[in-house]
Chains A and B, each alone.
Chain A
């Protein structure tokens, strides 16, 4: 089995796991699925580092396993146990079936964009996998209202960037995509902070931004 075929396997496992996340309404299932995806990614990086005798890949694999696969999911799970009302996605933006199909369409769209733009320069079809995963992660963010799932969507986008960076470490795209992620992350965090400041008594679902009449009346 070549490194390329392992890359395809890992990439498509990630895509399948994002589909599974779109299927789930319970947030804990989404967190566990992300954790599994991160462990797979960490194993891939460790294996690639071991085979290619590249210590920085081994270190990256270890860090991925500890931080992304273990620490972040356990922290989020602890938060869920504390705030039981966050346990499930109550009001999805779209129906689950439509979301799953749209997520697949985003993956196909990623392939099309990649074929039209980057393929001419890099001549490797494998690069389409992280682009598809990147768009699927972005769609996970906009298709859910709970901040926890949106955060997971953001982390999925980061996983996609990992894969892209592994394929093309020399490309400036990796830096630019990293900047895009930082911007998205900043917007997400500021959105959550603004929301929490506005209505501390209510939940922090990002999309639920219409002030309720009863609360407005209470405020006077």
Chain B
């Protein structure tokens, strides 16, 4: 049963992650009073790329070709361990907790950066440098967020955190939880490259993530793109399922709940996509050095969660 659910979750993420990306683009275009491409455009793009020939820079090492498969495998692993369609651990659930999941995300990002450096493309180096600078500040914030989630649930297991927030109105309504949620949302914007952090145009002045895969083509580029869609989808799910709206995720195996919840989950993701689309259409991109101001505010919110906990715990945190 658990293995079947794991496979269902894997298929759910693999198949719907590109659709979420297509819907986001469509909403943005509609907001701009344009017709926009079909919501299935990412599938067409992936299909086209899988058919295309792969070109490799002559100076690149074999690692350059391995990296897309490796990162894709990391995202597949994460799909199996995070609470997407269930709030009870599936077969691979006990493999990693939130910190472990963060490390796997970090490993995927590191592999991508190494491969970008290996390509010897100037723009890829530029993007790697920028991504590393921002990541060096945003990753510790993520860690602080996980520590505060540990404070809420006494564990770093995302399933337990979901269960605690689903069942405890006091924790869900607490300022600790909401400061962590705000900080996570701000990190989510950084990690998924949304405005005001990154604008997905081809102007090299603002490029961070997309410049790292510039030398890729064919199947490898398709895997990078698909992996990117999955990463966004997984992070959005963590935000919605664990932090912002942890409700209705099935906490026990029930056929009806398991059949209905994927639909509810996708509605949650749609709501978040609308928020992202509104942000993308209403906020302008920060200059690169101002991203650090944004990251500092994110850190403050994560740290304020700790201060709130310190203030409100029984008897105060002073003794």
Chain A positions near chain B (C-beta within 8 angstroms): 5, 8-9, 12, 15-16, 19-20, 23, 96-97, 100-101, 103-104, 107-108, 111, 115, 119, 123-126, 128-129, 132
Contacts and interface: CB of A to CB of B under 8 A. Distances in A.
Contact of B175 (A12, A97, A119, A123): A12
A97 B293 contact: yes
A124 B308 contact: no
A107 B307 CA distance: 9
A-B interface, 8 closest residue pairs, ranked by CB to CB distance from nearest: A125-B316, A100-B296, A97-B296, A115-B318, A96-B293, A97-B292, A19-B300, A97-B293
B283 to A, nearest CB: 14
Contact of A16 (B293, B296, B304, B318): B304
Contacts of A129: 311
Given A23-B297, A96-B290, A97-B296, A125 B307 contact: no
A101 B308 CA distance: 17
A96 B175 CA distance: 26
Given A111-B310, A125-B311, A125-B316, A97 B303 contact: no
Interface residues of B, number: 22
Q: Is the interface of A mostly helix, strand, loop or mixed?
A: helix
B316 A8 contact: no
Interface string B63-91: 00000000000000000000000000000
B62 interface: no
Contacts of B307: 12, 15, 107-108, 111, 132
Interface string B288-308: 001011011101110110011
Contacts of B301: 16
Given A96-B290, A125-B310, A12 B297 contact: no
Contacts of A108: 307
Contact of A100 (B297, B310, B315): B297
Contacts of B311: 8, 125-126, 128-129
Nearest to A114: B318
B38 interface: no
Given A12-B307, A125-B311, 9 more contacts: A96-B293, A97-B296, A100-B293, A100-B297, A104-B303, A104-B304, A108-B307, A126-B311, A132-B307
A119 B318 contact: yes
Contacts of B54: none
B100 interface: no
B312 interface: yes
Contact of A125 (B290, B299, B300, B318): B318
Contacts of B315: 125
A125 B300 CA distance: 20
Contact of A8 (B175, B295, B296, B318): B175
A201 B299 CA distance: 42
Contacts of A97: 292-293, 295-296
B317 interface: yes
A120 B307 CA distance: 19
A20 B293 CA distance: 10
Contacts of B292: 97
Nearest to B319: A119
A97 B307 CA distance: 20
A23 B308 contact: no
14 contacts: A5-B312, A8-B312, A9-B175, A12-B175, A12-B307, A12-B308, A20-B297, A100-B296, A101-B296, A115-B318, A123-B316, A125-B315, A125-B317, A126-B311
